[in-house]
Amino acid sequence: MNTRNPTFRVFAICFAIAMVDGFDTLVISFIGPALMDTWKLAPAELGRIFGSGLIGAALGGMTAGVLADRLGRKRTLLMCIALFGVLTLACAFARTPTELALLRLAGGLGLGGAIPNIVALTAEHASSQRRSASVTLMFIGFPLGAVVGGALTAAVIGSYGWRAVFAIGGVSPLLLLPAVWRGVPETLVAARHDAGSAGGSIVSQFADGRAPSVVLLWLDVFAIMLLSYFLINWTPTILAMSGIPEQRAIMGAVVLNFGGIVGAALLTTIIDKVGAFRAVAITLIPGTLLVLAMGAASSVPLPLMALVFLTGACVLGAQLSIPALAARLFPMHVRGTGIGWTMGMGRIGSIIGPTVGGVLVGTTPDWGTLFQIAAVPCGIAALCIGAGHFFMSR
């Protein structure tokens, strides 16, 4: 690590935190079959464990973002990492599904709370010309951590069981605490006198004419994360139900996430040239068409895995750029609050998406209709981002 360059040092540390956050957020998905086997869980019971962590993350993002604007990014980030590290480690000792759900709920507060802080820290240590690209590139660590975590889980779980996976997920963030303590300087000192009360920070998100852009950004992140988590959770099942062999269907989720990583990386090359809002809006337009094409592939011979990759590149790539939009929109003294509430709105969408998806998969007569419905949030997100760019440009 180039310790003489604070910008690179902060970026590298935040990237590493994003990776362990991505692993710990999605670890429950990796070990879901093992949990069902251990405790003889019904799918609905496992779904409640999934949902508890996402609910905690939504609340954590909104709460920790406000705390960061009052106490400082670094201090709040240290608390969040310690919280999700210790509680993820505690999951290894859960005796019942209820205990595990409660630990995931509490740990989710730290998982969600870390995100607005690493986004704000990355933005505030980057040059103004590269701010949006730096944030997007840093946040690629989240899905990359999920991909690495999935491979690690596959290697570990057969020999050591699901509890060992939680142990790895808990120890990894705790090992990063010294790096954050020594390597991340605080950025909010000059602005603390403006922080005011927690309620004031929340209201201040909408000040100085930002209200229309904030509301449109919230609608966008809600819609895009609703669709993203529907695709992430249900693509393997839909592929398998379409007659694709199970092993290849499971690879659909990997291909989708890999597409998101590639798409977000490509966006960083143009995002600071054409503007973050415009770049994401442009990406979501073909994303909408690709979602429709995935539905058509069930009746028309189209290269399905190529469609999955391209859909991931546009839809998940756009989703990974959302933190950069929030970092661009909010000034320093409310940046933590603004990012936290924006990502919290997205987390709500991530809870609803898989749930509604389950109902649609069970009741929709054909995949063409299913993906026509799924394309609607993507179209809404593109319109909201485009309108948000209009209001920011005024």
CATH assignment at residue 153: 1.20.1250.20
User: What's this model's pTM, rounded to 2 decimal places?
Assistant: 0.82
For residues 264 and 294, state if they share a domain.
Answer: yes
Helix (H, G, I), strand (E, B) or coil at 184: coil
- Whether residues 82 and 176 share a domain: the answer is yes
Average pLDDT, integer, range 317-327: 89
Of 171, 195, 219, which one is at a domain's C-terminal end?
Answer: 195
pLDDT digits (tens, 9 = 90+) for 114-153: 999 999 999 988 887 788 889 989 999 998 888 888 788 8
Structural domain ending residue among the three candidates 195, 218, 236: 195
129 lies in the same domain as 206: no
Provide CB contacts within 8 A for 355, sequence distance 6+. Answer: 47, 51
Cβ-contact 268, 126 below 8 angstroms = no
Please indicate, yes or no, whether residues 175 and 252 belong to a single structural domain of this protein.
Answer: no
Distance, CA of 293 to chain centre: 25
Do 264 and 142 reside in the same domain of the chain? no
Contact 201, 337 (CB under 8 A): yes
Do 111 and 100 lie in one domain? The reply is: yes
Based on the fold, state whether residues 310 and 376 are members of the same structural domain.
yes
Q: From the centroid of its chain, how far is CA 74?
A: 20
Query: What mean pLDDT value characterizes the chain?
Result: 85
Q: List pLDDT tens digits, range 83-121.
A: 999 999 999 999 999 999 999 999 999 999 999 999 999
Dist. CA 88–CA 140, nearest whole Å: 22
Do the Cβ atoms of 242 and 298 come closer than 8 Å? yes
Domain count, the chain: 2
Q: For residue 178, count CB atoms less than 10 angstroms from its CB and return exposed for 0-12, middle for 13-18, buried for 19 or more.
A: exposed
**In this structure, are 189 and 234 located in the same domain?**
no
pLDDT digits (tens, 9 = 90+) for 186-224: 775 444 444 455 555 688 888 878 888 899 999 999 999
258-268 mean pLDDT: 90
pLDDT value at residue 394: 53
d(CA 15, CA 325): 18
Q: So what's the pLDDT on residue 195?
A: 46
Quote the domain boundaries for residue 341: 196-394
Q: What pLDDT, in 10s, does the model give residues 3-13?
A: 556 788 999 99
Whether residue 92 is found in the same domain as residue 121:
yes
Residue 170 and residue 235 in one domain: no
Q: What angle do CA 327, 114, 319 make, to 5 degrees?
A: 50
Residues 30 and 158 in one domain: yes
Shortest CA distance to 350 belongs to which of 386, 393, 390, 316? Answer: 316
Same domain, 66 and 136: yes
pLDDT at residue 359 greater than cutoff 60: yes
The model's confidence at residue 300, banded by pLDDT at 50, 70 and 90, is: low
pLDDT at 370: 87
Domain end, chosen from 175, 195, 215, is at: 195
Q: What is the DSSP string of 344-357?
A: HHHHHHHHHHHHHH
pLDDT band at 230, cuts 50/70/90? confident
CA angle 350, 351, 356 (to 5 degrees): 100
Indicate the angle between helix axes 332-363 and 97-125, nearest 10 degrees: 140
Task: Note the pLDDT tens digit of each residue in 158-179.
Answer: 889 999 999 999 999 999 999 9
Rounded Cα–Cα distance for residues 390 and 277 (Å) = 9
